[in-house]
């Protein structure tokens, strides 16, 4: 077999393996079309905020302050900030609010951070971090994902889903 064909075959096998791994990893997330109930959560800065904004698509990003992948990816959300997409950063599985504050400061997180709870984790089937849900303007799931994503990856998912 020539060298170029062998290299192409290795890439194909790798892509198929990654696709299978991705499907297995995200198999338990909420399915496309599921309606998300209207929920208000406490803000790290005080007060409360709705998880979604009526009439606007929303990206819900669940993270844990101890998660190194979350620390590497949370800054990529800023590339999506716009008037047409609401981004909600939701802290989960934290030992203390101080841990969440430290994570926010250390990673220079801009925007509000909502404080999640175990019931929300179960409701959204969050099994690992980070977990993303893209919701349409009617609060229905149009895409979900788990793990690291680049700014470009998030932009592509947004464009394909909305």
9 lies in the same domain as 48: no
Asked whether the beta carbons of 40 and 105 are under 8 A apart, the reply is: no
2 lies in the same domain as 52: no
Q: Residue 9: pLDDT above 90?
A: no
22 lies in the same domain as 72: no
DSSP string across 25-91: HTTTSPPTTPBPPP-EEEBTTSSEEESS-TTS-EEEEEE-TT-HHHHHHGGGGGGG-SSS-EEEEEE
For residues 50-63, average pLDDT: 92
24 lies in the same domain as 36: no
Q: Residue 81: pLDDT above 80?
A: no
83-127: pLDDT as tens digits: 788 999 999 999 999 999 999 999 999 889 999 999 999 999 999
Distance CA 56, CA 139 (A): 8
Total-model pTM = 0.81
Q: Give residue 9's domain range.
A: 1-30
How many domains, the chain? Answer: 2
63 lies in the same domain as 110: yes
């Amino acid at each position: 077999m020539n060298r170029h064909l062998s290299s192409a075959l290795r890439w194909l096998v790798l892509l198929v393996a990654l696709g299978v791994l991705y499907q297995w990893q995200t198999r338990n997330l909420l399915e496309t079309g599921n309606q998300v109930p209207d929920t208000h959560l406490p803000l790290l800065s005080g007060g409360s905020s709705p998880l979604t904004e009526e009439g606007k698509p929303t990206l819900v990003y669940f993270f844990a302050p101890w998660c190194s992948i979350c620390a590497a990816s949370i800054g990529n959300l800023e590339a999506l900030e716009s008037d047409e997409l609401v981004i909600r950063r939701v802290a989960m599985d934290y030992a203390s609010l101080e841990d969440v504050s430290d994570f926010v400061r250390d990673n220079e997180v801009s925007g509000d951070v909502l404080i999640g709870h175990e019931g929300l984790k179960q409701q959204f089937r969050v099994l690992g971090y980070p977990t993303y849900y893209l919701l349409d303007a009617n609060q229905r799931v149009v895409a979900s994902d788990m793990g690291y994503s680049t700014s470009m990856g998030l932009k592509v998912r947004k464009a394909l889903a909305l």
